[in-house]
């Protein structure tokens, strides 16, 4: 049997589970094809490394002791899809360079771990004739065609822990505290952590808010003798007026208003209207870091192992997926670049409403 040369890279934002997924893929390849017949080529810093030929041959020992390690041992960088597909002032054809690196490294296939942007580029490279397999990671859980992405569960645990801790300080000071949770386009992480953390109001991009409704929810709690309120806000949230604007126009409006996110504005409006002291907590990149949860370790391993099966079957141009707890796959053209918003009738939304959580709408 000829030696299989398998490239692997991590692209986009980091999250817990990337190392576990790589480990799962590599160990499954070693098991299927044998260590002597498998050569893993680690590409540093995502597509940037593929463009510039920054890679190293890896040993089996490189994949030991990384199951519980957060982040990515290969490093990662964000690469704009638009920038990749256009020749800039430097005159560099980045697609051509990535294809050349693939050939120079004599790869039989390339495993790409990433979110929506990563999958768009993976699909492009696949259409250019490269053997590509995608693995779905993102704390946003917004990749179309899969029920869950690895990294989401760990971020959910962290975000919920943040909201848990806000309850005692909010109660002690009789404040409204708003937790701004990552999620620029979708609200999965905010929705689930808001429910799990006992938030009183949840504001997500899929449901543009009415500030009067948000204030009403806070005032209703105060009237009922509740001296504090917790509001979970997705960083990409916007109000009903902003919903009528294009994204760039929303950004311009906020710049003129001197704010970066809706969370800051909501806090100011609540305090101005009710007189209740309001504060904002932004856990930010803490949500990406740390040891992967037990579930993410399992999920990452299972998703990684599926890649080995696809390689064995020479089934390229696919992204691994989870559907009804079954590990399967989707064709890259069917899912690349398509976001998965929270449905208005999702069970999580229904649950939140059934226990009296307001969406400010």
Active-site residue list? 140
- Supply 294's token pair: 């037990």
The whole-angstrom separation of Cα 159 and Cα 140 is 12
**Which residues on neighbouring strands pair with residue 43, listed in sequence order?**
55
């Amino acid at each position: 049997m000829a030696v299989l040369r398998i490239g692997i890279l991590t692209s986009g934002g980091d999250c817990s589970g990337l190392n576990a997924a790589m480990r799962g893929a590599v160990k499954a390849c070693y098991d299927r094809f044998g260590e002597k017949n498998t050569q893993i080529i680690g590409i540093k810093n995502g597509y940037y490394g593929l463009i510039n030929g920054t890679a190293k041959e890896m040993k089996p020992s490189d994949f030991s002791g990384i199951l519980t390690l957060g982040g990515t041992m290969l490093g990662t960088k964000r690469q704009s899809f638009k920038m990749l597909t256009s020749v800039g002032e430097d005159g560099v054809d980045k697609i051509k360079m990535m294809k050349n690196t693939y050939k120079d490294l004599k790869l039989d296939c390339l495993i790409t771990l990433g979110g929506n942007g990563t999958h768009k580029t993976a699909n492009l490279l696949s259409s250019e004739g490269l053997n590509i397999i995608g693995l779905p990671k993102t704390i946003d859980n917004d990749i179309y065609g899969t029920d869950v992405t690895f990294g989401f569960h760990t971020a959910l645990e962290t975000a919920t822990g943040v909201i848990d801790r806000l309850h005692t300080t909010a109660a002690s000071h009789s404040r409204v505290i708003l937790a701004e949770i990552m999620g620029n386009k979708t609200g999965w992480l905010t929705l689930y952590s808001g429910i799990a953390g006992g938030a009183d109001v949840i504001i997500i991009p899929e449901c543009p808010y009415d500030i009067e409704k948000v204030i009403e929810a806070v005032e209703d709690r105060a009237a009922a003798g509740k001296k504090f309120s917790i509001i979970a806000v997705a960083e990409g949230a916007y109000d009903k007026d902003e919903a009528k604007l294009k994204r760039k126009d929303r950004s311009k409006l906020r710049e003129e208003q001197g704010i970066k996110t809706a969370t800051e504005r909501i806090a100011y409006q609540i305090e101005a209207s009710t007189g209740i002291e309001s504060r904002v907590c932004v856990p930010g990149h803490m949500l990406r870091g740390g040891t992967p949860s037990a579930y993410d370790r399992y999920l990452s391993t299972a998703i990684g192992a599926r890649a080995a099966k696809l390689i064995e079957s020479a089934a390229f141009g696919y992204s691994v997926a989870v559907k009804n707890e079954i590990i399967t796959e989707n064709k890259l053209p069917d899912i690349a670049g398509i976001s998965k918003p929270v449905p208005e009738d999702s069970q999580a939304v229904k649950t939140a409403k059934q226990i009296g959580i307001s969406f400010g709408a």
